[in-house]
Amino acid sequence: MHKFNGQLGIEDFYKVVFKNEPIQIENTVLKTVENSFNFLKKFSENKVIYGVNTGFGPMAQYKIEDSERIQLQYNLIRSHASGTGQPLAPMYVKAAMLARLNTLSLGHSGVHVSVITLMTELINRNITPLIYEHGGVGASGDLVQLAHLALVLIGEGEVFYKGERKDTKDVFKIENLKPISVELREGLALMNGTSVMTGIGIVNTIYTRQLLDWVTGCSAAINEIVKAYDDHLSFELNQSKRHIGQRLIAESMRKHLIDSKLTRKREHHLYSKNEDVSVFKEKVQEYYSLRCVPQILGPVLDTLNSVENILIEEVNSANDNPIVDVEKKHVYHGGNFHGDYVSLEMDKLKIVVAKMSMLSERQLNYLLNSRLNEMLPPFVNLGKLGLNFGMQGVQFTATSTTAENQMLSNPMYVHSIPNNNDNQDIVSMGTNSALITKKVVENSFEVVAIELITIIQAIEYLEVQDHISSKTKKMYDEIREIVPIFTEDVIMYPYVNLVKDFIIKNKL
């Protein structure tokens, strides 16, 4: 049972979303929420509070009668549950729910405590609202996507339940659950906020870290099997640059290769007179996709760490409007729901993930082009040249997918379109940015899967299973359990998908 106290980190998301660890709301959180609700109820009795006794957005000029306050919240939820496109996968919805639960638990939203208890039950029972990918502009938060969450909390709409898409009312009946009590601003508080883009973003960062580990491991393995000189990974060289990410990537690769029998020392081969040599048969320095890995993946790691920090700050922030301050006995109106922080971070993340896929594709090309590596057959073809094709077919897939990533890595952050009668005249498009990043991450796993199969085939051809490092050998053994040695041509797509699934679910 995971104790929930209103402060979350990446590890908390991993445990709840990826490992399905149930959460238990601490009494202090429930008390904080209850105090916030009671304060707002009393404070709003003789004051104009946006979203409590006014319309919404450009309709805020219209005062709402006390007798219509509750209907106002239901109207908002139902009218804005207007998403289209593909349903968001339950994992991402669960992350969004956890993010929303957290911000509402801070006591700045004035929601009824039933919101907290019902959302907790839905998370723990893996009942995930149907939320569509399209609909959010990310300015007054993820209004449309979060409306679909709110719709479920009032007992309407649809959910995913035990692998099936069902009507909420039917699932609530099976699970003996009751809808929330809509009393003040439960609709607006649920819908105003950045929780969908943030939830998707946090899952993106978890997958990106997994992807980065595999790309780093592949990079080490390729350096190894081509017998590269190891000084480009040395502590001394990388310490001469001050970037932490570069130093950590180089350190990781050194650890990976610590017991390799294949990497070479420059002093053993080139740091001598070589008086009888006019042309060196072997390369004095490797191609950049092998030699510059710490300098390429270092910025990826630094960016990933920075993105994680911003997202965790966002998830632990009050990001709706207005903000209730029980201590100061005041309600503040503003724009905490605006998603620019998340939108920008997602654009940063998808750029570095696209760059990882580009590095993987170039390393793949190096292995497949016999004129470049001068040690492997064309396309690492273990069969009869001309008759068989080896990895030739899947290279097209890797190249095509990488090209898509390059196009998708263009920023969404700067694509604002005014809407909502120009009330929302500059918006973040944060959920779009997070969803495009999700696609770029998924694409990159496909490219790395193809590279991994190629690395294993190369080890097979070179017959160096007993010379590679223990980490590369473990990688070799794991992939070999999924993909057989093939000399004759085989249908490749099932193997690519199996390896992709493996590296998504397993750490290196």
Helix ranges (DSSP H) in 226-269:
235-239, 244-256, 266-269
Strands (E), 289-389: 323-325, 330-332
Q: Is the dihedral of CA 181, 182, 187, 193 positive or negative?
A: negative
- Radius of gyration for the alpha carbons in the chain, expressed in angstroms and rounded: 27
The three-state (H, E, C) secondary structure of 83-112, written as one string: CEEEECCHHHHHHHHHHHHHHHCCCCCCCC
Beta strands at 158-161 and 323-325: parallel, antiparallel or unpaired:
unpaired
pLDDT at position 343 is 95
Catalytic site residue 50? yes
Amino acid at position 211, single letter: L
Query: Which of 160, 183, 182 is closest to 171 using CA atoms?
Result: 160
Neighbours of 476 (CB within 10 A): 19
| Catalytic member of 14, 50, 132, 287 | 50
State the Cα angle at 254 between 202 and 267, rounded to 5°.
Answer: 150
Query: Which of 463, 465, 489, 486 is closest to 475 using CA atoms?
Result: 465
| String of DSSP letters for 328-342 | TTEEE-S-TT--HHH
Strands (E), 314-433: 323-325, 330-332
Please state the pTM of the whole predicted model.
0.94
pLDDT at position 47 is 79
What is the SS3 assignment for 289? helix
DSSP 24: E
Looking up tokens 């099997």 gives 225
220 touches 186 (CB < 8 A) = no
Contacts of 373 (CB under 8 A, 6+ apart): 226, 366, 367
Neighbours of 387 (CB within 10 A): 9
Determine the distance from the C-alpha atom of residue 272 to the mean position of all C-alpha atoms in its chain, rounded to a whole number. 49
Looking up tokens 């029972």 gives 125
CA distances for 319 relative to 7, 133, 142, 193, 222, angstroms:
14, 21, 11, 5, 46
Domains and CATH numbers, the chain: 2-192 (1.10.275.10), 203-270+281-324+335-505 (1.20.200.10)
- Helices 195-225 and 143-153 sit at what angle, rounded to 10 degrees? 110
pLDDT at position 274 is 64
Distance in angstroms (rounded) separating the CA atoms of residues 405 and 438: 11
Judge residue 278's burial from the number of C-beta atoms within 10 Å of its C-beta, 0-12 exposed, 13-18 middle, 19 or more buried.
exposed
pLDDT at position 440 is 98
Distance in angstroms (rounded) separating the CA atoms of residues 105 and 117: 10
pLDDT at position 360 is 98
Distance in angstroms (rounded) separating the CA atoms of residues 69 and 76: 11
DSSP 376: S
450 touches 156 (CB < 8 A) = no
Encoded tokens for 201: 């973003």
CA distances for 421 relative to 10, 57, 428, angstroms:
38, 9, 17
Neighbours of 483 (CB within 10 A): 21
159-179 b/e (C-beta count within 10 Å ≥ 16 → b)? bbbeeeeeebeebbeeeebee
CA dihedral 403, 404, 407, 413 (to 10 degrees): -140
* Per-residue confidence in pLDDT tens, the chain, 508 aa: 567 777 899 999 999 999 999 999 999 999 999 999 999 999 888 878 887 878 777 777 778 788 888 898 998 899 999 999 999 999 999 999 999 999 999 999 999 999 999 999 999 999 999 999 999 898 888 999 999 999 999 999 999 999 999 999 999 999 999 999 999 899 989 999 999 999 999 999 999 999 999 999 999 999 999 898 888 999 999 999 999 999 999 999 999 999 999 887 755 555 566 666 655 566 756 788 999 999 999 999 999 999 999 999 999 999 998 999 999 999 998 998 999 999 999 999 999 999 999 999 999 999 999 998 889 999 999 999 989 999 999 999 999 999 999 999 999 888 888 887 777 778 888 999 999 999 999 999 999 999 999 999 999 999 999 999 999 999 999 999 999 999 999 999 999 999 999 999 998 8
What is the SS3 assignment for 166? strand
The continuous run of DSSP H or E covering 128 comes out as: strand 127-129
Contacts of 331 (CB under 8 A, 6+ apart): 40, 43, 44, 47, 49, 322, 323, 324, 325
Encoded tokens for 179: 């809808």
